[in-house]
Amino acid sequence: MKRSDINADTVLASLEPEQKEYREAYGVDRLYFVVSAKGNKRWEFRYKRADGKWSWVGLGTYPDVSAKRAREKAADNIKLVDSGIDPVQHKQSAKKVEETNAANTFRAAAETWYARKADSGRADSTLDKMRGYLDNDILPFLGDLQLEDIHRKDCAALLATIEGRKAFNVAKKVRGWLQQIFSQAIARGLCENNPASELLAIAAPAPKTEQYPHLLEPELPDFLKAMRNSKSRIIARTAAWLTIWTASRPGMVRYAEWRDIDLETGTWTISAEKMKMRRDHVVPLPTQAVTALRELHEFTGRHKLVFPGIGEVNAVISENTINSVFNRIGYKDRIVGHGTRHTASTLLREHGWDKDHVEAQLAHKEEGVSGVYNKAAYLLQRRMMMQWYADYLEALELGTTPPERPKQ
């Protein structure tokens, strides 16, 4: 077979390499088929530059670029040359435009936003949820669009699809994330407007969520007296008291380990792995809690867990244990483990304790400056606050004069 017959498209794939790279004209003015010494194949177009010298511009590899597509590219380049445009320079300019467009896509902006979230100390579980919502909801809808081409109606349509499946909490999160992504893009000079703003005004109303059952201050004296007379096992009873005295999440209490509790300093350090954030959370223990834990240590001190379950060395008390303690003293459906946090928060705020100190005790993280705290945030203030709280509860139980709130 003559190499001059390569203009037959079916022959291209069978062309063999030679010791040196060779080019053959492919039946279209200045279009060449190139076979390298290693057998790689590509298309090239030959043209004369403005300075009169001949040059080459690549049109792509074969078979990625078919013979038909190569002929079309050659025809396009002929038009460029006839118009006085250098094909190589045109190709470079087009590549820069493509790179700029890629950098200005919503996907690129979202990935930058996510990377900053990952570096900010978010827990892996939280990041996994963010990643899931990005990949499953947000990016399929907006990812490939240029930032400047996204309008408020696009963001509204995305949120409507999420609200349509009754995922109102997800829609709330996504609405906030969209605003953050566009705000960062504006700050980086990638776009001028935030099309995710003002979307709260058209947000579908979410069903009202009921608060965890909890008690208010007037109800506490009888409750605390009943707790003092509780017949529940010491493990369950102490776990319930610890949620009351520290306003900790029941799950944190259930999985507490003796190695994390320093009874000498009255400090309980909950590891980052157990928290919603990547930071440890330090819980000051009032003297009442320290006394109760010392008593419990006589029973469970040989275990890893402070509150082991029955029958297995490493088993933990069930998630219903604390609620069962409350149920057995006649408070079923009136207060639950999580409700003790609301009770503490309400009472502390009503008595003038600083909101940031209360939020830090609850291990809540707020956005902005007030949300930036280290593992021992406000520890001195919280130690004072929670000791006052335990003393106040004790006074309510005994019917004595409650202590005055110390000056902070």
- Residues annotated as catalytic are 249, 276, 338, 341, 364, 373
Closest CA to 131 of 145, 151, 117: 117
Q: Which two tokens stand for residue 162?
A: 């999420």
Q: What single DSSP character describes residue 31?
A: E
Q: How far apart are CA 365 and CA 249, in angstroms?
A: 14
Q: How far apart are CA 372 and CA 393, in angstroms?
A: 30
- The sheet that has 41-48: what strands, in order across it? 22-25, 31-35, 41-48, 54-61
Q: How far apart are CA 16 and CA 18, in angstroms?
A: 7
Using DSSP bridges, classify how beta strands 267-270 and 261-262 pair: parallel, antiparallel or unpaired. Answer: antiparallel
CB atoms within 10 A of CB 207: 7
Specify the amino acid at residue 343: T
What residues are paired with 61 via a beta bridge? 42
CB atoms within 10 A of CB 153: 10
What residues are paired with 267 via a beta bridge? 262, 284
